[in-house]
Amino acid sequence: MLSIKKCNNLILKYLIKTLRPFIVPKNNFIVYHSFPDFSDNCFTFFCYVLDNHKEYKNIWLISKRDKEKYSKLLANYTTSSNYLIVEKKSFSGVYYFCKSKYVFFTHGLFNEVNLSKKQININLWHGMPLKNIGHLDNNSRVPKSDFVIATSALFQNIMSKAFLIKNENVLITGQPRNDLILTNKYSLLDLVQKKSTDFDKTVLWMPTYRKSVIGDVRKDGNLEEMNDFFEEKYLIKLNEFFLSTKSICFIKLHPMDYLDVNDFKTYTNLVFLNNASFEEKGISLYSVLQNTDLLLTDFSSIYIDYLLLNKPIGFLISDFDQYSNSRGFVFEDPKEFMPGEIITHKKELIPFLQNLLFANQDNFEEERAKTRDIFHEPKNKFSERVFNTIFK
């Protein structure tokens, strides 16, 4: 017996195939979709089009019905009201999908349906990969697209293989979300209503998931070793360090992670965040990055974006071998492209923080700049480049 989800997908597929022959896509209609809703490359590009190209009709297809949830976010990033918000799995959603000449997405949109020659599908994705993605990860659920974007020739080749798309159809434009990195409009401190004068340093810690419960449900790496960093006794010690140094650390959990902010106690100088933390304030993650002093991460693509700022990065990778053997990487030796301190055990973290943040022992500035230039050919105006390339 078919599940409700599969039944709904079959109905949508039938509806799209039925309507398509009778609907001519309009050249000035653009449809957008992302996971989570109103996020990542799609959201920034959407705002760029709204503010700079008023001749287009913009339709955002949401997965969830709560339209009001995103009103604050939209008000913070665009002054335009030239858009519609429509539920994806509805007749209106299918209608506008078929009616739009241009389709932009981060994780695919109606993947069960073949591409239409009447439309142009642009996969903005959600980061340049360090870990294997798409067909490089033997994933059969890869979204179909006419174009994919990349940040450099190196990633152009990788994205071509990951999505089985011609090299020339991978556009070296940079990622729209990185337009926000180059601004300092907001800070992580805005999420907790504190002033920058309250702290000397702000650290952002963004681990990728080892066990996911949403989307591509899977386990990668060594869950136990990574969770060792989140042991309560250690978090208390880490909080004491940040308190004693008049600093604060924000730990942003991956939206697909099985861990949740409610799994952790409340600390004074250690703050756990999820997507809802940003949604409540109407703030995009990428617009707070410039107002941080250090990024802690592991195999997340966030560090590749963070290189544009040439600020210090610490890599917490206690399970490198296990992750390499399970998920795997797009590079033979990814550590060659990780310009920062490699931290393999929690006992190394506080000394690293002490030396870097308060003794100014940054030994990777030149290496970061070199890696940045390999990873990023365009270094600004990313949304504009996407627009000018697609709508030329």
Query: Residue with structure tokens 């994919």?
Result: 148
Query: Residue with structure tokens 């030396």?
Result: 355
Tokens linked to 235: 């978090």
| Third-level CATH fold of 184-375 | Rossmann fold (3.40.50)
Tell me how many degrees the CA angle 255-138-147 measures, rounded to the nearest 5: 75
Nearest Cα neighbor of 369 from 300, 293, 290, 311 is 311
Query: Residue with structure tokens 């990969």?
Result: 129
Given the candidates 3.40.50.11820, 3.30.70.1380, 3.20.20.140, 3.40.630.10, the CATH classification of the domain at 19-174+380-390 is 3.40.50.11820
Please tell me the predicted confidence (pLDDT) of residue 224. Answer: 64
Full DSSP string of 319-357: THHHHHHHT-BSSSSGGGG--SEEE-SGGGHHHHHHHHH
Give 10-residue mean pLDDT values along the chain (392 residues).
Answer: 72 90 96 95 98 97 85 95 95 96 96 94 96 91 95 98 97 98 93 89 86 63 68 94 96 74 89 92 96 94 97 92 88 96 94 90 95 98 98 88
Cβ pair 30, 49 in contact under 8 A? yes
H or E element in which residue 28 lies:
strand 26-33
In degrees and rounded to multiples of 5, residue 380 shows phi and psi of: -165, 175
Task: Tell me the C-alpha to C-alpha distance, in Å, between residue 94 and each of 10, 18, 114.
Answer: 13, 11, 14
Same fold, 19-174+380-390 and 184-375: yes
The alpha-helical segments, DSSP class H, found in 33-122 are: 40-52, 71-77, 91-99
Domain ranges for the chain? 19-174+380-390, 184-375
The alpha-helical segments, DSSP class H, found in 111-208 are: 153-163, 178-181
Query: Residue with structure tokens 């509805």?
Result: 90
